[in-house]
Amino acid sequence: MLLAGAVQAALLFLLPWDYAIDDTYIHLQFARNLANGDGLTFQAGEPPVYACSSPLWVFILSPPFLAGFGGAVCARLFSSLAAGISSVLAWLLASRLAAAGRGRTVAAAAMLLCMADPWMVRWGASGMESTAAAALVAAWALAVVSGRTPPAVTGLIAGVAFLARPELAFLGPLGLVRGRFRKTGASARMLAPWFVITAGWAAFAQLYFGRPLPTAVTAKASTLPISGYLATELPKLFEAVAVSCAPLLALAALVFLTAGRREGAMRRCRPSPDILSVMPAFLLALLLVMGGAPVTTRYLVPALPALFAGLASISAGFQGRPRRLPEAAFTATLCVQLGCGILLVRPHMAGVASNMETYREVAAGLDSLTPPGSLIAVQEIGVFGYEGHRRLLDLGGLVTPGAGTDFPGLDRDATASIRYLRSRGATHILDPHGVVKPIMGLSDRLGVDFVPLASWVFPGGTSLSGAATYTRVLYRLDW
């Protein structure tokens, strides 16, 4: 079990070398500035902005910078180790949940699913906090279903999970579903550390950043009408879940519904431990949809190890014919995971990793082609802020709150967008979408000349363009 987790961590760290996303570098920038004594800030010397969605990850990444070896490699090492730990915890949780005589089979199924899941692989290799949050959710579920874990420890894990991902704040109250935490003394001991951490951090964030929640909550929230949002994001949610566990989920639902009919309302009123392990995934998906968040697999990963353990345990209780249906559902799930990982996720990761050197070239170009004191408007501010040395204006709205609404986009409303850039004192813009070229002839009306300085090609595209190769152009803004 431990050896398998260690092998998983090593493979994730070594195989997709140089894979990372922009948010990885946002957290690295916060961690480096914290280690350098500049506080929790993205751009040293400027007012702090709550652009790090995972303060826990910043705290974890900061000490290596003090020791002189912090950076993307270290972040990927930590996220890979967290993925291995998540798989081990999925094994332990499934062993605890399984009925007598099925523990080893159920535990092995849960651990293998956790290791093979393409989303666990992708985000475990990304240098992001997702797998650390997954390990915390699995540890919380293990503490809740265990009769020996002190309530205070359970609450402490729930509080730390909130620091890993703010949407996991529901873990504290969710623990009250278990009967042993409903007693006044036990519930108070369980909720006290959770409340101290969540309320304490929210109060600190309000005082330090001026807001209790990360800027991503608003910057990434959909502006579409609810019908348009659901039509766009729900298919993504169903697709992500289907890839992870559709056959096993279908069998678990069948087992639960048939057992519910046999046992009556008592089962529904008192959720079993395996159902409790599934609930974080359901609540997490519900919170994302209610908040209008983009349904990306990164946000679902924290609930996956506990989900796999719960579904494997429930499915093992299948009573009927064919008797080997649980094994067949597990095998089918594993095959879907491996197929998606090999055919889709692995090539995507390789493409992103191959473009990281181009990102670094762009960051170096921003330094060499612009004078000190410049303010460059960019998308994907993390990698350029971490690798470069110029002040940046984040058009995505994470590090520059309000940009997401005040800058509608040059292709949507050129006049309003130019007005915003001018009001912020932007001197350059890095155009990733090719929207500057069509409006260059409108210089007199817009009040600005776009002077091209350099361009960089991204073969195979990035998260901004999908799989389409595109060119980013750096322009000087002559007002």
Does residue 229 register a pLDDT over 90?
A: no
Q: Do 103 and 224 lie in a common domain?
A: yes
Token output for 171: 């873990």
Residue 360: inside a domain: no
Q: Do 318 and 409 lie in a common domain?
A: no
Three-point CA angle 288, 293, 295, nearest 5°: 75
Residue 329: inside a domain: yes
Q: Do 179 and 234 lie in a common domain?
A: yes
Does residue 268 register a pLDDT over 60?
A: no
Token output for 109: 């199924």
Residue 107: inside a domain: yes
Three-state SS sequence of 206-230: HHHHCCCCCCHHHHCCCCCCHHHHH
- Number of Cβ atoms within 10 Å of the Cβ of 380: 24
Token output for 153: 């420890």
- Number of Cβ atoms within 10 Å of the Cβ of 95: 20
What is the identity of the amino acid at 357? E
CA distance 139 to 121: 19
CA distance 230 to 80: 33
Q: What are phi and psi of 457, to 5 degrees?
A: -100, 135
CA distance 61 to 58: 5
Q: Do 296 and 374 lie in a common domain?
A: no
Q: Do 342 and 384 lie in a common domain?
A: no
For residue 104, the model assigns a pLDDT of 81
> What is the domain range of residue 386?
370-478
Residue 74: inside a domain: yes
Residue 331: inside a domain: yes
Averaged pLDDT, 16-21: 80
Count of structural domains within the chain: 2
Please, which residues have CB within 8 angstroms of residue 471's CB and are 6 or more apart in sequence?
434, 455, 456, 457, 458
Q: Please state, for a pLDDT cut of 90, what percent of the chain lies above it.
A: 61
Does residue 163 register a pLDDT over 90?
A: yes
Residue 6: inside a domain: yes
Q: Do 206 and 285 lie in a common domain?
A: yes
Q: What are phi and psi of 80, to 5 degrees?
A: -65, -45
CA distances 200 to 38, 160, 298, 451, Å, are 22, 12, 26, 49
Q: What is the DSSP letter of 425?
A: T
Q: Specify the range with the lowest mean pLDDT, choosing from 35-44, 264-273, 289-298, 434-443.
A: 264-273
Please, which residues have CB within 8 angstroms of residue 148's CB and are 6 or more apart in sequence?
none
Cβ atoms of 467 and 455 closer than 8 Å: no
Q: Do 383 and 467 lie in a common domain?
A: yes
pLDDT band at 433 (very low <50, low <70, confident <90, very high): confident
Residue 362: inside a domain: no
Does residue 269 register a pLDDT over 50?
A: no
Q: Do 402 and 337 lie in a common domain?
A: no
CA distance 319 to 309: 19
Residue 150: inside a domain: yes
Three-point CA angle 411, 415, 421, nearest 5°: 90
Q: Do 205 and 295 lie in a common domain?
A: yes
Does residue 65 register a pLDDT over 90?
A: yes
Cβ atoms of 73 and 250 closer than 8 Å: no
For residue 5, the model assigns a pLDDT of 76
Token output for 286: 């519900």
- The alpha carbon of 293 is separated from its chain's Cα centroid by a whole number of angstroms, namely 12
For residue 279, the model assigns a pLDDT of 94
- Mean pLDDT (the chain) is 89
Give the model confidence (pLDDT) of 81-121 as tens digits.
999 999 999 999 999 988 656 778 899 999 999 999 999 99
Q: Do 404 and 286 lie in a common domain?
A: no
Place of tokens 């906090």: 129
Does residue 261 register a pLDDT over 80?
A: no
Cβ atoms of 355 and 459 closer than 8 Å: yes
Q: Do 187 and 255 lie in a common domain?
A: yes
For residue 125, the model assigns a pLDDT of 93
Produce one character per residue of 275-286: b if its CB has 16 or more CB atoms within 10 Å, e if not. Answer: bbbbbbbebbbe
Q: Do 340 and 401 lie in a common domain?
A: no
For residues 355, 43, 163, 92, the Cα torsion angle rounded to the nearest 10 degrees is 30
For the whole model, what pTM was predicted?
0.93
CATH of the domain at 409: 3.40.190
